């Protein structure tokens, strides 16, 4: 996916709508990668995706892209040990739907 190969500077130079859509594509691609392997996300993927989803809801598209890229590249590998585990009470897909709804309401 081309957007995973852009530098942050190239990404931030894109128009707002393209950055927003690029983030949607990146997060959806990570979900597709995980689901295509018929497995649950690793702890690293889960945490990076939650960070990406939260950043997306806040319209912080550079952070969204960085976190989604990290989730994509960790591909089943855990994050470093000793980090605080995120709240996983909300399923990832539900969190993503909520973030999409927030962005849609705010424009």
Report residue 14's pLDDT band, with 50, 70 and 90 as the boundaries: very high
Angle at the Cα of 49 from the Cα atoms of 104 and 57, rounded to 5 degrees = 25
What average pLDDT does the structure give for the chain? 85
The predicted pLDDT at position 11 comes to 87
Q: Which domain holds residue 69?
A: 2-106
Q: pLDDT tens for residues 20-58? A: 999 999 999 999 999 999 998 988 899 899 999 999 999
Instruction: Give the integer Cα–Cα distance in Å for 94 and 80.
Output: 25
Report residue 84's pLDDT band, with 50, 70 and 90 as the boundaries: low
Greater confidence, 33 or 81?
Answer: 33
pLDDT of 74 above 80 = yes
Q: What does pTM read for this prediction?
A: 0.75
Q: Which one, of 55, 1, 59, 57, lies nearest residue 30 by Cα? A: 1
Report how many domains make up the chain: 1
- C-alpha distances in Å from residue 10, one per residue of 4, 6, 14, 19, 100: 11, 6, 7, 10, 24
The predicted pLDDT at position 76 comes to 62
- Do residues 27 and 8 make contact, with C-beta atoms less than 8 angstroms apart? no
Q: What's the average model confidence in pLDDT over 60-74?
A: 92
- Do residues 48 and 70 make contact, with C-beta atoms less than 8 angstroms apart? yes
The predicted pLDDT at position 77 comes to 59
Instruction: Give the integer Cα–Cα distance in Å for 50 and 70.
Output: 11
Q: Which one, of 23, 43, 40, lies nearest residue 100 by Cα? A: 23
């Amino acid at each position: 996916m081309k957007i995973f190969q852009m530098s942050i500077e190239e990404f931030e130079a894109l128009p707002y709508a393209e950055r927003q859509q690029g983030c949607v594509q990146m997060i959806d691609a990570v979900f597709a990668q995980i689901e295509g392997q018929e497995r649950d996300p690793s702890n690293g993927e889960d945490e990076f995706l939650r960070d990406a989803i939260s950043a997306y809801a806040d319209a912080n598209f550079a952070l969204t892209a960085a976190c989604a890229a990290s989730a994509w590249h960790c591909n089943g590998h855990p994050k470093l040990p000793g980090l605080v585990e995120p709240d996983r009470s909300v399923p990832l897909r539900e969190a993503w739907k909520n973030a999409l709804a927030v962005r849609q309401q705010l424009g």
